[in-house]
Amino acid sequence: MAARPHYEFTSTAHYSFDEFVRDFGKKYEREAEYEHRRAIFQKNLEKIVSHNQNPHHSWKMGVNHMADMTEEEIRAKYFGYNSKLASLLRANAPVGDHGMRAPTVLPTSVDWRTYNPPVLTTVKNQGACGSCWAHAAVETIESRLALETGKLIQLSAQQLTSCTPNPQHCGGSGGCNGATAELAFDYVLNNGGIATDADYPYTARTGTCKTDVPKVATISGWRKLVENNYTDLLVAVATQGPIAVSADASNWSFYSSGIFTGCPGAGKDVIINHAIQLVGYGEENGKPYWIIRNSWGTGWGEKGYMRIDRSYLGCNRDPRPEDGSGCDGGPSEVTVCGACGILYDSSYVVGAKLL
């Protein structure tokens, strides 16, 4: 589709629903479903075109595989982060300076995508499963393992999805119903390690935990960053490597390129609902950004990545820290800072090693 880079359109006449169905391999069993999805697609396309026609936006929207879904359906299928459970885990996590000392001068930009030898595996697609937390965790373990051993190995997001317990039953029972990267780190730490993706491949289903798969790597622990602290996160991604972070991804569905500025502004509620990996930061034309690695496939965003506004350091209220579930023990609301709340919950692993 070279003629339609990123499927960024400025007119609805440039792309039809039938072209979308063909390009993304969509199949609908009944005519009623086809018409229903066409109506949703048309509304989403109009939203995309309207956004792209505004010359003042620093980022573009584009058509992707989610264009025939409502925002409610996208949130139900592609998110999977439970922030109340995260707050319970963070209460017991090691905290402090994590052995970090801020360098006198930090690099003006950091991009772990270009590090040699490589420390990032290929962009994953979690599919219609709320396993973003497992992907953010496994990616962070992969990166740390590569930095400490020189071996870049694709590890099993499915093992984390199927096997990580969720004892507080927050957001369901874990798996595709959602959990956190911290829970996944605890599982690897306390259960003898993690398998390769080749030995325990991803299925986009919770599945049943397999205990007879050989494990190839483990960690000695994990560290959380200070909540809502810009400097802590900046230093960590510059000196420790890629970091597991969380954010409000409610407006990310059709992001295609550029520096995203569509986060809720000052005074607006922010709902932390998605876990991703932070892989760097930079600046373009005087506008600073974070570099995010998502798990929605390479057809989303900038080949699976996103640049998000780094200049907003304000704080917002998250009135649903339980993420719409019945989890006991957490606050009724929390303060989250940075664009889309990206400064709120960040963590990384230490002592990654091969078995």
Is 193's pLDDT higher than 90? Answer: yes
Q: Are 143 and 119 in contact (CB under 8 A)?
A: yes
Q: Are 317 and 266 in contact (CB under 8 A)?
A: no
Q: pTM for the full model?
A: 0.89
Closest residue by Cα to residue 246 from 120, 137, 118: 137
Please give the mean pLDDT across all residues of the chain.
88
Among 156-160, 172-176, 257-261, the range scoring the smallest mean pLDDT is 172-176
Among 97-101, 141-145, 161-165, the range scoring the smallest mean pLDDT is 97-101
For 118-138, write each residue's pLDDT tens digit.
999 999 999 999 999 999 999
Neighbours of 300 (CB within 10 A): 25
State the catalytic residues: 132, 274, 294
Is 292's pLDDT higher than 70? Answer: yes
Cα 222-245-344 angle, rounded to 5 deg:
100
pLDDT band at 180 (very low <50, low <70, confident <90, very high): confident
CA dihedral 65, 289, 318, 45 (to 10 degrees): -30
Q: Please state which architecture CATH assigns to domain 75-354.
A: Alpha-Beta Complex (3.90)
pLDDT band at 281 (very low <50, low <70, confident <90, very high): very high
User: Which pLDDT belongs to residue 329?
Assistant: 61
pLDDT band at 327 (very low <50, low <70, confident <90, very high): very low
Please give the share of the chain, as a percent, with pLDDT higher than 70.
86
Is 257's pLDDT higher than 50? Answer: yes
For 84-121, write each residue's pLDDT tens digit.
555 555 544 554 444 445 555 789 999 999 999 999 99
Domain ranges for the chain:
5-69, 75-354
Neighbours of 256 (CB within 10 A): 24
Neighbours of 158 (CB within 10 A): 27
Q: Does domain 5-69 have CATH number 3.30.470.10?
A: no
Average pLDDT over residues 300-308: 97
Q: How many helices (H) and strands (E) does the chain have?
A: 8, 13
Residue with tokens 């932070």: 278
User: Which pLDDT belongs to residue 77?
Assistant: 78
Give the Cα separation of 301 and 65 in Å (integer).
Answer: 11
Q: Are 135 and 295 in contact (CB under 8 A)?
A: yes
pLDDT band at 80 (very low <50, low <70, confident <90, very high): low
Name the token pair of 77. Answer: 């299928």
Among 65-74, 198-207, 232-241, 345-354, the range scoring the smallest mean pLDDT is 65-74
